[in-house]
Amino acid sequence: MSLNVIALGGNAILDTDPTDVGQKEFIKKAAKYIVDFVEKGEEVVVCHGNGPQVGNLLLQQKAGDSEKNPALKLDSCVAMTQGSIGYWLQNALSNEFAKRNVSKPVASVVTQVEVDANDPSFTNPTKPIGPFFTEEEVKVEAAKDNSTFVEDSGRGYRKVVPSPQPQNIVEKEAIRTMAQGGVVTVSAGGGGIPVIIRDGEYVGVEAVIDKDFTSKVLAENVQADCLILLTGVDNIYINYNQPNQKALETISIAEAEGYIQEGHFAAGSMLPKIEAALDFVKGASNRKAVITSIENLENIQENAGTTIVSD
């Protein structure tokens, strides 16, 4: 039996149907794969993305913004979507276990993730979030809180926020205790609620944290054996979409770093996953990381997907 952190993407949850019914239906399907994996004797902590969901919530906040009903700050919006997706996963997993007459507790944890107040991203925000604005609207919005806006591919202006590196899972002791006690635990959703330490207290900040890097920190904090990063393909490829493309199976740290140097992986998609996987595997010789599709999850024990191992 091993402990695994599974990272599920927010874009996968919100694929074509943005309603909560549509997203719940996807999560029901995902739950079956996760329960199949657990039934093979594995323990899991589930982490998930929330990019599309928090973006939609920000749109709803803007539409309803008024003096008596002001829009909430970004850290609260991250917490709200973390809670809703956590509920969907908790509900779907519990129901799937019950259908199989498997007694397995499931719980979700609203999770804060500590970031460094001096992280360079706070002086150079680059992560676009929320609605598009016209140039005139930007003048009004920026005056409210000195937010930074950038033009986005001819579609208008969007607010950009910092995306600092995660340092520590605040609730790690509770999550580790639950996971080691056999509880399927949903935590650190959306990269976690970003907090800094100010005057000895945790304070929420306007930022978003990359889900894959947070899942790596979470896996370290709960002493996981394996980090599983789920994506839309069964394997990592080199020379992707070219006649000589090749699916990678088991590769070493050195091989993965070599492929990065050769420029095989896109910065906005596969590269963060590989970097997070490498960081995790480098932490201890007995760790491994797997990048694959959710459909391949139950076959990981048979070496499905791309596995990164120590040299």
The contacts of residue 264 (CB under 8 Å, 6+ apart) are 237, 238, 239, 240
299: exposed, middle or buried (Cβ count in 10 Å: 0-12, 13-18, 19+): middle
Span between the terminal Cα atoms of the chain, in Å? 24
What are the sequence ranges of the domains in the chain? 3-118+163-309, 126-161
The set of catalytic residues is: 10-11, 127, 211, 273
Q: Which of 7-16, 119-128, 183-192, 218-227 has the lowest mean pLDDT?
A: 7-16
How much of the chain exceeds pLDDT 90, in percent? 63
Output the pTM of the full model: 0.90
Cα dihedral value 215, 217, 219, 225, nearest 10: 120
Looking at the DSSP bridge assignments, the partners of residue 247 are 237
**Does the structure show a pLDDT above 90 at 205?**
yes
Q: In this predicted structure, what is the pLDDT of residue 146? A: 78
User: Is pLDDT at 304 greater than 80 in this prediction?
Assistant: yes
Q: What is the mean pLDDT of residues 19-37?
A: 92
Q: What is the pLDDT of residue 242?
A: 85
Can you give the pLDDT at residue 192? 97
Q: Can you give the pLDDT at residue 32?
A: 96
* Residue 159: pLDDT over 90: no
Please give the CATH superfamily to which domain 3-118+163-309 belongs: Acetylglutamate kinase-like (3.40.1160.10)
Beta-sheet pairing, 226-231 with 3-8: parallel
Q: What is the mean pLDDT of residues 219-248?
A: 91
Which pLDDT value is given to residue 276?
A: 95
